[in-house]
Each structure stands twice: as structure tokens, then as C-alpha cells.
Amino acid sequence: MDYRENGTNNQQDSILQPGVKESRHIRLLKTLVGLAIIYTLYLAKSLLIPLFFSALVALLLSPLVRIARRFFIPPSLSAAALMLLLVTPFTLLGLELAEPAQRWMQSLPKIAAEVTQEIEEISDSLKQGAELTAPEPAKENTSFFSWFDDEEEPEPKPNDGNTMTDRLKQSGIELGLTILSSAPLLLAQIFGCLILIFFLLVFGPNLFNVFIRDFPIVTNKRRALVLVNHIQRELSAYIITISMINGLLGVATAIAFTFLGVQDAILWGALVALLNFVPYLGGLISCSILLVAGLVQFGLVSAALLPAFVFLGINIFESQLATPTVLGRSLRLNPVIIILWLSITGWLWGIVGVLIAVPILMSFKIILSNLGALPHWVKFIESK
């Protein structure tokens, strides 16, 4: 009996061992594939960011091209008209904001010097107060044995009062040079995005129809068409809604700042509207920037806090009342998942990745929900 039992156990071990090795190999292969995908996303960010952005805008505008085709308007003409309507307002806004933005960029070293000077004055006043209340220094030891002490008195350090100011000035200059050096690449990417959006609007539907009709990977062609149209409607509704909410937030902020007498109110309204595409962190960054702007304009007085507090009140109304009421249950994302996703996309793609992170996450969520794929991940993303 013992021999048979041992033989049976050895046989079972020999049968299970290849399966265990195979599962380990599969897990190792999945890990390597995941790392390769992350590495590719990091290296190809200059290519993938325009592709994702262009795809989102094309999804947003393609229903309008389809409607224009029903009225016998060629897709090329309707796409060109839509591109003109899309580019013209942003171009006019950019021209309007170019002068104040340039002025603020040039004044960054001066602002850094002024803030540092204020901090140094406060620090000097605190040091003077500490010196007035400091105890008397101990008397020197003049005994006979102190003559044999080899320790030298420490030399007074030179005054480094302007070191922090010089560093902040240098940081401001380096930031301005970095932005100026990256401007040509940014303009090239914007121009490439516009061309790609136009071609997606004109030729994208035909490519999609050929893919659905002729590729064997699509088995249920009618269901695929219905599913893609449904996903497109949900994505378009989400992108349009969130863009309108952020635009109204920027307009309300600019109007409030105009009544308060804050300089460059339109610039700050456009900035907070753009940063509001980043949930949670965007409002925090906007408050910090507006606090610095208030300090620069009004000085170290209570009025300097007014721009940040006014925007905070508008942002709380938007995030806690307006957005949940308009979007309802369609924007069900766990805050922890959002923060982690923002961290990942910011690490991979920088500031632009942070701005388009939530629309991409919402797109994946809507696609998975409609396909019925990975339901546990959908529940994990939506968990509250």
C-alpha cells in the first residue's frame, strides 16, 4: 500500500508540475508584456498624445459630419467647416491671452525676487525678536589649561542673504527658456492634430465600415455597428458636457475677477477652465496660482486671499452640485483610482497626459461597460 501510494503521489506531482511551470511562465510573460507596454507608452508619448487627442475630438465631431451628409453636404466640406469653427475661437482666445501670458512669464524672476524679499523681511524681524530675548552669552574660560586648547574659533560665515533670491531668479529664467524651447514642438503637434482630425472626419467612417464588413475578427457585424454607435454617443455626450461645465466655470471666474478688480481676469478664467479637466488636483493647483497672483497684485494684505477664496467657492459649487446634477451617474469614478491614474499619466506623458487622463479613463470605462468585458474592473473603477 505504501509503495502504491508513493507511486501515485509521485505520478500526481509529475502531472501537476508542468502545469505549475506553465502558469509561472504565463505570469512571467504577462509581466514582461505589461512592462513593455509601459515602456512603449513612455517612449512614444510624442506620437500617442496627438493620436489620443485627435481620436477624442473626431469622436466628438463625427456625428455632425454624419448629419451634414444627410443634407448632401460632402464630408470634406463639413469637416473643413467644423475645423474652422473649432480653431477660430481658440485662436482668438490665444491672441487675446498672448500678451498677458507673456508679461507674466517675463515677470516671473521679478515676482520670485519680491516674494523672497518679503520672506526675508519677515525672517529678519523674527530674528531680531529672538535676539532681544536671547540669554547673555557665557563668559570665556580664561583658566591656565585653556591656553593648551587647540580648538580654533569658527569664522563667521559670509552673508548669503541674496542666495535664495538668485536661485529663484535663475529658476524663473530656466522655466521661461524651457517653455520657449518646447513651443515649436507644441505648435507642430497641434498642427499635426488638426490634420489628423480632418482626415479622421473625412475618411474615418469608410475605414471603419471596411473593417467591420471585411475583417474576419468581427463575427457579429450588426451588433458591432450598434455597439460602436452607442459608445460614440456616450463619449460625445460626456466630452461635450464636461467641456461646457469647465467653460462656464472659466467664464464665471473671469466675470467675478473683473468685478473684484483682479488683473488679467480672462487669463485666469481660461487657466482654471483648462486645469479643471484634472479632477481634485486641478482646483488645488488653480487656488495656489491665484494665491500667488493675489499676493503679487495686492501685496501681503488680506485682499490678496480674495481671488483664491472666490474661485474656491465657485469650484465647490461646480464640483459638488453642478457637475453631479448634470452628469448624474455617468461620472462614477473612485477618487483614489482618479488620483492613481493621474499620477501614472503624469509620469508617462507629463502635463498634457494629466489633462487628457480622465477622458481616456472614462472612454475605457464606457467601452468596457458596453462590451461587457472585465466587469470586475468596471466595478473596481466605479466603487465609491
Answer whether residue 338 is part of any domain. Answer: no
Other Cβ atoms less than 10 A from the Cβ of 378: the count is 19
> Worst-scoring range by mean pLDDT, 82-86, 133-137, 223-227, 321-325?
133-137
pLDDT value at 291 more than 60:
yes
Q: Which of 341, 345, 349, 277 is nearest to 47 (CA)?
A: 349
Answer whether residue 66 is part of any domain. Answer: yes
Answer whether residue 82 is part of any domain. Answer: yes
pLDDT recorded at residue 255: 93
Residue 302 per-residue DSSP state: G
Top mean pLDDT of 77-86, 142-151, 300-309, 328-337 is at 77-86
Condensed to tens digits (0 to 9), the pLDDT of residues 25-70 reads: 888 888 888 888 888 888 888 888 888 888 888 888 888 888 888 8
Helices 281-298, 335-355: inter-axial angle, 10-degree rounding: 60
Average pLDDT, the chain: 76
pLDDT recorded at residue 253: 92
Answer whether residue 170 is part of any domain. Answer: yes
Confidence grade of residue 279 (pLDDT, cut at 50, 70, 90): confident
Other Cβ atoms less than 10 A from the Cβ of 243: the count is 14
> Worst-scoring range by mean pLDDT, 146-150, 299-303, 353-357?
146-150
Overall pTM surpassing 0.75 (yes/no): no
Answer whether residue 274 is part of any domain. Answer: no
pLDDT recorded at residue 145: 46
pLDDT value at 150 more than 60:
no
pLDDT recorded at residue 264: 85
Buried-exposed string 163-189: b where 16+ CB fall within 10 A, e elsewhere:
eebeebbeebeeeeeeeeeeeeeeeeb
Top mean pLDDT of 14-28, 111-125, 220-234, 343-357 is at 343-357
Percent with pLDDT over 90 in the chain: 3
| Helix, strand or coil, per DSSP, at residue 140 | coil
- How much is the average pLDDT of 124-150? 55
pLDDT value at 14 more than 50:
no
pLDDT recorded at residue 147: 46
Condensed to tens digits (0 to 9), the pLDDT of residues 238-247 reads: 788 888 888 8
Answer whether residue 201 is part of any domain. Answer: yes
The parent domain of residue 172 ranges over: 47-123+164-218
Domain count, the chain: 1
- How much is the average pLDDT of 239-259? 89
Answer whether residue 87 is part of any domain. Answer: yes
pLDDT value at 329 more than 80:
no
Answer whether residue 351 is part of any domain. Answer: no
Confidence grade of residue 338 (pLDDT, cut at 50, 70, 90): confident
